[in-house]
A and B are shown apart, each in its own frame.
Chain A
Amino acid sequence: MFVELRDVSKAFGDFEAVKKVNFGLTKGTLAALLGPSGSGKTTILRMIAGLETPDSGDILLDNQSIKSLAPSRRGIGFVFQNYALFRYMTVFENIAFGLKTQKVPKANIKERVGELLELIGLADLGRRYPAQLSGGQKQRVAFARALAPRPRILLLDEPFAAIDAKVRRELRSWLRNMISHLKITSIFVTHDQSEAIEVADRVIITNHGQVEQTGAPIELYRSPATPFVAHFIGESTVVNNYGSLKGFETAPEGASCAIRPEFVKIYAPGETVQFENTVQEALVDSLAFRGDVLEVTIILNGFALTTTYSLERPALSVGDRVKVLIYRIYAFDQDRAVLVGNRLLTNGGSGYNFQI
Chain B
Amino acid sequence: MAIFNFQKASLSPAPFARGYREENPLIRRILIALSLIFTLLILVMPLLVVISQAFGTGWDNFWKAVTNIFTLKALYLSLITTFSAVTANTVFGLAAAWALSRYNFKGQGFLITMIDLPFAISPIIAGLIFILTYGRLGWMNSFLQEHQIKIVFATPGLIMATIFVTIPFVARELIPVLVARGSDEEQAAVLMGAGFLTIFWRVTLPHIKWALIYSVILCAARAMGEFGAVSVVSGHLRGKTNTLPLHIEILYNEHHYNDAFAVSAILVITSVVILTARSVVEHISKREERSNVR
Main secondary structure of the interface of B (DSSP, over half): helix
- Known interface pairs A131-B292, A131-B293, A131-B294. Does A87 touch B185 (Cβ–Cβ under 8 Å)? yes
Give B194's nearest chain A residue, CB to CB.
Answer: A101
Q: Is the CB of A101 within 8 A of B191?
A: no
Q: Does A64 contact B (CB under 8 A)?
A: no
A98/B193 in contact, CB under 8 A:
yes
Chain A residues with CB under 8 Å of B286's CB are none
B186 to A, closest residue via Cβ: A84
Residues of A66-86 at the interface with B, using a CB-CB cut-off of 8 Å, are: 71-73, 76, 78, 80, 82, 84-86
CA distance A188 to B190 in the complex (A): 20
Q: Which of B51-59, B94-102, B109-117, B200-208 contacts A (4 or more CB under 8 A)?
A: B200-208
* Contact of B188 with A by CB under 8 A: yes
Q: Which residue of B lies closest to A76 (CB)?
A: B191
**Residues A78 and B292 in contact, CB atoms below 8 Å apart:** no
Is A279 part of the binding interface, using a Cβ–Cβ cutoff of 8 Å?
Answer: no
- A101's partner among B185, B192, B207, B292 (CB-CB below 8 A) is B192
User: Is A89 interfacial (CB-CB < 8 Å)?
Assistant: yes
Task: Flag whether B198 is at the interface (Cβ < 8 A).
Answer: yes
Residues of B contacting A149 with CB < 8 Å?
A: 192-193
In whole angstroms, how far apart are the Cα atoms of A149 and B188 in the complex? Answer: 13
Give the chain A neighbours of B194 by CB distance below 8 A.
Answer: 72, 97, 101
Considering the complex, which residues of chain B in the window 148-206 have a beta carbon less than 8 Å from any beta carbon of chain A?
Answer: 184-185, 187-195, 198, 202-203, 206
Q: Which of A104-132 contact B (CB under 8 A)?
A: 129, 131-132
A296 CB to closest chain B CB, in angstroms?
A: 39
Tell me whether A80 and B184 are in contact in the complex, defined as CB-CB below 8 angstroms, given that A86-B189, A98-B192, A101-B194 are known contacts: yes
User: For the complex, what is the distance from the CA of A339 to the CA of B188, rounded to whole Å?
Assistant: 45
From B191, B192, B207, contact of A88 by CB (8 A): B207
A101 to B192, CA, bound (A): 7
Residues of B within 8 A of A98 (CB): 192-193
A90 to chain B: closest CB distance in Å? 10
Which listed residue (A50, A73, A84, A132) contacts B188, Cβ 8 A? A84
Given A84-B184, A84-B185, do A72 and B202 touch, yes or no (CB 8 Å)?
no
Interface flag for A322 (CB, 8 Å)? no
Check A72 against B185 for contact (C-beta < 8 Å).
no
Contact B184 A101 (CB under 8 A): no
Given contacts A84-B184, A88-B293, A129-B293, contact A72 B207 (CB under 8 A): no
CB-CB contacts below 8 Å: B215-249 with A: none
State whether A72 touches B184 (Cβ < 8 A): no
**Can you list, as one digit per residue, whether each of A87-105 has a CB less than 8 Å from chain B (1) or not (0)?**
1110000000110011000
- B187: contacting residue among A84, A89, A145, CB under 8 A: A84
Per a CB cutoff under 8 Å, which of B184, B190, B191, B202 touches A89? B202
B189 contacts across to A, CB distance below 8 A: 86, 97, 101
* Cβ–Cβ < 8 Å partners of B187 in chain A: 51, 80, 84
* Partner of A86 from B188, B195, B292, B294 at Cβ < 8 Å: B188
- The closest CB in chain A to the CB of B193 belongs to A72
Task: Give the Cβ gap from B192 to chain A, nearest Cβ, in Å.
Answer: 4
- Are the C-beta atoms of B292 and A132 separated by less than 8 Å? yes
Residues of A within 8 A of B191 (CB): 49-51, 71-72, 76, 78
- In angstroms, Cα B14 to Cα A61, docked, is 56
A72 contacts B293, CB within 8 Å?
no
Asked if residues A78 and B188 are in contact (CB atoms below 8 Å), the reply is: yes
Distance to closest chain A CB from B207 (angstroms): 7
Shortest CB-to-CB span from A323 to chain B, Å, is 52
Chain B residue numbers with a CB within 8 Å of A78 are 188, 191
Mask: chain A, 127-166; 1 = CB below 8 Å from B; 0 = not: 0010110000000000001000100000000000000000
Check if A102 sits within 8 Å of B293, measured CB to CB.
Answer: no
Q: Would A87 and B293 count as touching, CB distance under 8 A?
A: yes
**Nearest A residue to B206 by beta-carbon distance?**
A88
**Do B192 and A129 touch (CB < 8 A)?**
no
A82: nearest chain-B partner, CB-CB: B184
B191 to chain A, nearest CB (A): 5
Complex CA–CA separation, A86 to B294 (angstroms): 11
Tell me which residues across on chain B come within 8 A of A131, comparing CB atoms. Answer: 292-294
A63-B4 Cα distance, complex, nearest whole Å: 60
Complex formed: what's the CA distance from A149 to B195 in Å? 16
Residues on A with beta carbons closer than 8 Å to the beta carbon of B188: 78, 80, 84, 86, 145
Cβ–Cβ < 8 Å partners of A129 in chain B: 292-293
- In the complex, what's the smallest C-beta–C-beta distance from B106 to chain A, in angstroms? 14
Query: In the complex, what's the smallest C-beta–C-beta distance from B282 to chain A, in angstroms?
Result: 19
* A window 294-322: CB within 8 A of B: none
Of the residues B190, B206, B292, B294, contact of A72 by C-beta under 8 Å: B190
> B residues within 8 A CB of A82?
184
A80-B184, A82-B184, A88-B293 as given contacts; A72 in contact with B203, CB under 8 Å: no
CA distance A72 to B192 in the complex (A): 5
Min CB gap A327→B, angstroms: 48
Contact of A71 among B190, B207, B293 (CB under 8 A): B190
B73 → A minimal CB distance (Å): 43
A102 to chain B, nearest CB (A): 6
Q: Could you give 21 example pairs across A and B, Cβ below 8 Å? A: A51-B191, A71-B191, A72-B192, A78-B188, A80-B184, A82-B184, A84-B187, A85-B185, A86-B188, A88-B206, A88-B207, A97-B192, A98-B192, A98-B193, A101-B195, A101-B198, A129-B292, A131-B292, A145-B188, A149-B192, A149-B193
The 9 A-B residue pairs with the shortest CB-CB distance in the complex, in nearest-first order: A72-B193, A84-B184, A88-B206, A98-B192, A101-B193, A84-B188, A101-B194, A131-B294, A84-B185
Given contacts A80-B184, A145-B188, 12 further A-B contacts (CB under 8 A): A51-B191, A71-B191, A72-B191, A72-B194, A86-B188, A86-B202, A87-B185, A87-B293, A88-B293, A97-B189, A101-B198, A131-B292
